[in-house]
């Protein structure tokens, strides 16, 4: 779509949303999602993007928690029953209305509510105000020298910050172009970069697959090598993949670090030193500090002393929807506690080394709470006890593994349990391996000791 067509189609959506405050968006990887989110934001509403592959439990939770007054969806999609939100509004890119010049709402007004997993329970809705999105995109433009001349290429899902905020609102804020692949594949990404793409956004799993493809295909490697910027984020990019991409393409990946709640905190700049394992320096306007176990601010920038990353700045969310408890424990005196552990190098570069919570798993760049997967496994009639943890995986970074004590009756198959989770939650939350055990290792309090799961039988 041209900017003129997009403005007309978004105005048509905004016109249908008049008088509403909060709208859900069935965020398929299609142009309708871009038009829908833009229409909502143009109309001054809060948009709640929904993973179209969500299972029933997630849909019920998101709908009851965020209480949207309407749902934006492409006219061609058949919606799941659990998404029976009052009013359905079709997003048709061919519709057009005269773009109005509504005044920009208050910068503190919520623009997006993005659902993100925690260690226990169902995902929490992070409320992102307009100023967080605007300032963060401008800070990224600054460090990446991102302009209207850039053509961004990616195949990220459009219901998370990476694909939607950075990957969709990002190019629009610059007045540049976006080519969404619909579905990621190394070949599709390389074809677009070989055409006129200048930047690629991806999660480490995508770069691992690109590295394998580039090692086998010189033309594909050349296309990656010619890009202005290859940017990785959402999970740690292993140094190995960084080097494989460099060896095959001559191009070094730029890594950046963020969270749904904070958007982007740190990045290597376009002209910066692209060292494997480092996510660069804090973005302009963003304060980052590391705290040790006693809560003392670390002063050593020795690249060795490890502390928890705390972040402050205009990029922060305002809190979790309907969860004052969770907001209060993560956001104190303007600082957000990320739960990530890092060291700081003498030149200010941050190196993320791990996470405080072992119950959070990053798989393919998706954050998944172990508790959420355990809860859905326990809903299966043939499961007596369940424990879930992440294990290293060359492709996904971490894979979800479930330890199951079967109940009375036949033992369920691995596939049956994976499908069960995939139907209640989203398919990316399904266990990739299931291990049946007689009992789970527990401490004196009865709590499962996850570090001993590997040795349980
Ligand atoms: C497989 N499938 C199933 C089942 N098994 N469907 C139903 N039931 C099952 N049992 C389907 C899947 O839905 C998928 O469909 C296809 O089969 C392949 O599944 P899978 O192997 O899981 O997918 P994949 O090919 O491994 O996906 C890898 C990926 C993906 C493309 C890298 O993980 C991905 O898109 N990751 C991006 C995550 C992301 O954007 N995170 C940002 C969070 P289909 O292929 O059609 O889906 S924001 C964030 O982290 C912060 C802010 C930041 O810093 O960015
Ligand atoms: P999410 O909750 O899905 O927004 O995921 C945020 C988490 O992704 C952060 O807390 C980090 O653990 C992880 N993350 C994002 N980018 C990076 C990165 N470049 N390196 C390491 N971890 C990252």
Q: List, for residues 11-63, the tens digit of each pLDDT value.
A: 999 999 999 999 999 999 999 999 999 999 999 999 999 999 999 999 999 99
Read off the pLDDT band of 457 (50, 70, 90). low
The whole-chain average pLDDT of the chain stands at 96
- CA of 183, closest atom in ligand 1: 45
Q: Kindly report the backbone phi and psi dihedral angles of residue 337, in degrees, each rounded to the nearest multiple of 5, phi listed first.
A: -90, 115
- CA-closest residue to ligand 1 atom 21: 428
Give me the pLDDT at residue 204, please: 98
Read off the pLDDT band of 103 (50, 70, 90). confident
Q: Quick check: 270 pLDDT over 70?
A: yes
Pure H helices in 111-176 = 130-144, 170-174
Average pLDDT of the residues in 280-301: 96
Give me the pLDDT at residue 99, please: 79
Closest CA to 331 of 250, 431, 259, 269: 259
- For residues 23 and 45, the answer to whether their CB atoms sit within 8 Å is yes
From residue 448, give the alpha-carbon distance in Å to each of 194, 371, 403. 51, 12, 11
Q: Quick check: 200 pLDDT over 80?
A: yes
Average pLDDT of the residues in 128-156: 98
- For residues 280 and 255, the answer to whether their CB atoms sit within 8 Å is yes
- CA of 339, closest atom in ligand 2: 10
- Distance between CA atoms of 349 and 302, rounded to whole angstroms? 10
Give me the pLDDT at residue 456, please: 63
Q: Which ligand is nearest to the CA of 355?
A: 2
- CA-closest residue to ligand 2 atom 20: 236
Q: Quick check: 141 pLDDT over 90?
A: yes
Residues facing residue 352 across a β-bridge: 342
- For residues 260 and 126, the answer to whether their CB atoms sit within 8 Å is yes
Instruction: Give this prediction's pTM.
Output: 0.96
Among 125, 165, 232, 234, residue to substitute to test ligand 2 (most atoms within 8 Å of Cβ): 234
- Look at the block and give the residue holding tokens 């040790």: 292
Angle at which helix 239-249 crosses helix 204-216, to 10 degrees, equals 40
- For residues 156 and 199, the answer to whether their CB atoms sit within 8 Å is no
Give me the pLDDT at residue 95, please: 93
- Distance between CA atoms of 204 and 36, rounded to whole angstroms? 28
Q: Quick check: 86 pLDDT over 90?
A: no
**Maximum CA pair distance of the chain?**
67
From residue 271, give the alpha-carbon distance in Å to each of 145, 236, 257, 275. 9, 21, 17, 12
Average pLDDT of the residues in 373-396: 96
Q: Quick check: 453 pLDDT over 80?
A: yes
- CA of 352, closest atom in ligand 2: 21
Residue 192: which residues within 8 A CB-CB, separation 6 or more? 151, 153, 179, 181
User: Residues enclosing ligand 1, CB less than 6 A?
Assistant: 53, 156-157, 160-163, 184, 203, 205-206, 233-234, 258-260, 364-366, 418-419, 422, 427-428, 430
């Amino acid at each position: 779509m041209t900017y003129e067509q997009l403005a007309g189609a978004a105005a048509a959506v905004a016109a249908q949303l008049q008088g509403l405050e909060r709208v859900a968006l069935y965020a398929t990887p299609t142009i309708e999602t871009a038009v829908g989110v833009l229409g909502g934001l143009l109309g001054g509403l809060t948009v709640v993007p929904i993973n179209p592959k969500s299972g029933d439990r997630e849909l019920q939770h998101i709908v009851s928690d965020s209480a949207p007054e309407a749902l934006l969806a492409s006219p061609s999609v058949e919606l799941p029953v659990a998404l029976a939100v009052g009013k359905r509004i079709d997003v048709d890119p061919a519709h057009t209305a005269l773009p109005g010049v509504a005044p920009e709402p208050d910068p503190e007004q919520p623009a997006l509510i993005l659902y993100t997993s925690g260690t226990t329970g169902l995902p929490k809705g992070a409320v992102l105000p307009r100023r967080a999105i605007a300032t963060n995109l401008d800070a990224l433009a600054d460090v990446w020298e991102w302009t209207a001349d850039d053509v961004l290429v990616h195949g990220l899902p459009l219901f998370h910050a990476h694909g939607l905020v950075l990957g969709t609102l990002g190019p629009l804020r610059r007045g540049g172009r976006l080519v969404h692949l619909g579905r990621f594949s190394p070949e599709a990404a390389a074809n677009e970069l070989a055409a006129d793409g200048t930047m690629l956004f991806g999660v480490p799993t995508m770069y691992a697959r690109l590295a394998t493809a580039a090692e086998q295909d010189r033309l594909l490697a050349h296309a990656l090598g010619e890009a202005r910027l290859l940017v990785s984020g959402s999970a740690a990019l292993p140094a190995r993949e960084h080097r494989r991409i460099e060896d095959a393409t001559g191009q070094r990946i730029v890594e950046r670090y963020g969270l749904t709640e904070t958007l982007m905190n740190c990045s290597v700049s376009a002209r910066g030193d692209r060292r494997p394992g480092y996510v660069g320096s804090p973005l302009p306007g963003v304060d980052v500090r590391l705290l040790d176990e006693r809560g003392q601010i670390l002063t050593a920038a020795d690249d060795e002393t490890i502390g928890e990353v705390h972040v402050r700045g205009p990029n922060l969310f305002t809190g979790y929807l309907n969860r004052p408890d969770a907001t209060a424990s993560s956001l104190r005196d303007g600082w957000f506690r990320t739960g990530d552990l890092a060291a700081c190098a003498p030149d200010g570069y941050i190196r993320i080394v791990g996470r405080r919570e072992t119950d959070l798993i990053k798989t393919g760049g998706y954050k998944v709470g172990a508790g959420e997967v355990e809860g859905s496994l326990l809903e299966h009639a043939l499961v007596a006890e369940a424990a879930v943890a992440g294990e290293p995986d060359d492709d996904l970074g971490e894979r979800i593994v479930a330890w199951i004590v079967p109940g009375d009756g036949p033992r369920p198959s691995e596939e049956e349990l994976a499908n069960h989770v995939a139907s209640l939650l989203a398919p990316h939350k399904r266990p990739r391996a299931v291990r049946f055990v007689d009992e789970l290792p527990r401490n004196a309090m009865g709590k499962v000791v996850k570090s001993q799961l590997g040795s349980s039988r």
